[in-house]
Chains A and B, each alone.
Chain A
Amino acid sequence: MPAVSPPHSPKDRSSAPARTQKNFDKLYRDHVDLMYRFANRLCGETEAAKDLVQETFLNAYRGFKNFRGDAQVSTWLYAIAARACLRMRRKRKGEPERELSLDEFIPTSEGEFRLQIPVDGLSPEEALENKELRQALDAAIDKLPKKYKMVLVLRDMEGVSAKEVGTIMGLNERAVKSRLHRARLFVRRELSARGVDGTTTTHAETYR
């Protein structure tokens, strides 16, 4: 393993490996929950998410010396996780890695303009209490080609800015926004085509 020389105070006379471990422990403690959430959203299931988190922090441990501190630590970790995720074999079903074109999202029949799910009059939190709806949303996101899913997860679920998503994924802001738009249209179409029954929630009252 290459020598790691993270910033430390001159007073710190502990050995390099001890310092590395100390720095790592702080990094891990402060960011493991964030990375686990991100990994779950990317992988869609907990075991794969745990693998991704371990791979991410292992790469971070080895790459400490490459972290220049000109980006936020979270941005750096997101980027490591995104790269690791792209390398990981996609075992599950889902769309093949392909480009999404805007044309495929144009509704062709009247019913496709709105969501066939119980959301009217509900807060998003209330709507998501409907298990069927939550599953439909998860399935829709999971079906996205990876590079679109990553942008949607970072931007709309993790709340990362478009500029930062660009830094994480090595894209310009324009490309980020274009992918985001297509990813949202994809998920919207899935929710509109699938149709979720409202009877499992108590207050799902569709008033149209």
Chain B
Amino acid sequence: MAKRAAPRGEKRPAARPHQHGKGRCLHILRALSAYIDDELSGTICQEIRLHLGACPNCEDFVASLRHTVSLCRHTSAPILASADRARMRENILKSARTR
């Protein structure tokens, strides 16, 4: 996969060289649900954003996680037909009286 430039255009401070070590990415991976759910403090968010801007793999990863959650949120479910609704009510009441 070709390396891309950080799309957000965020510049890392030179004093904090980006660690391409797996450990850094792993640390980010652990926090990603909290990150996309906006539950992290500003400092940690900033830290993650900086990493994402410099690490295409993690950036792809967070995008794919966001997509996954977004798909889950938008799935539809079948609607109960009114005949089924009435039949099930009868079944429940019958069981409630006999058992």
Contacts and interface: CB of A to CB of B under 8 A. Distances in A.
Interface residues of A, number: 51
Interface string B74-99: 11111110001100110111011100
Interface residues of B, number: 40
Interface of B: 1, 22, 26, 29-30, 32-34, 39, 57-58, 60-61, 63-65, 67-80, 84-85, 88-89, 91-93, 95-97
Given A114-B60, A184-B33, A157 B75 contact: yes
Contact of B71 (A110, A124, A192): A124
A187 B88 CA distance: 33
Given A124-B71, A156-B69, A177-B33, A28 B92 contact: yes
Contact of B78 (A21, A24, A40, A113): A40
A132 to B, nearest CB: 13
Given A33-B79, A128-B74, A191 B68 contact: yes
Interface of A: 1, 21, 24-25, 28, 32-33, 36-37, 40-41, 46, 50, 53-54, 57-58, 61-62, 102, 105-107, 110-111, 113-115, 119, 124-125, 127-128, 133-134, 137-138, 141, 152, 156-157, 159, 177, 180-181, 184-185, 187-188, 191-192
B68 A41 contact: no
A159 B37 CA distance: 12
Main secondary structure of the interface of A (DSSP, over half): helix
Highest count of chain A CB atoms <10 Å: which of B32, B57, B77, B89: B77
A28 B89 contact: yes
Given A102-B30, A106-B29, A110-B57, 11 more contacts: A21-B93, A36-B77, A57-B92, A124-B70, A124-B73, A128-B75, A157-B73, A177-B33, A184-B33, A184-B72, A191-B68
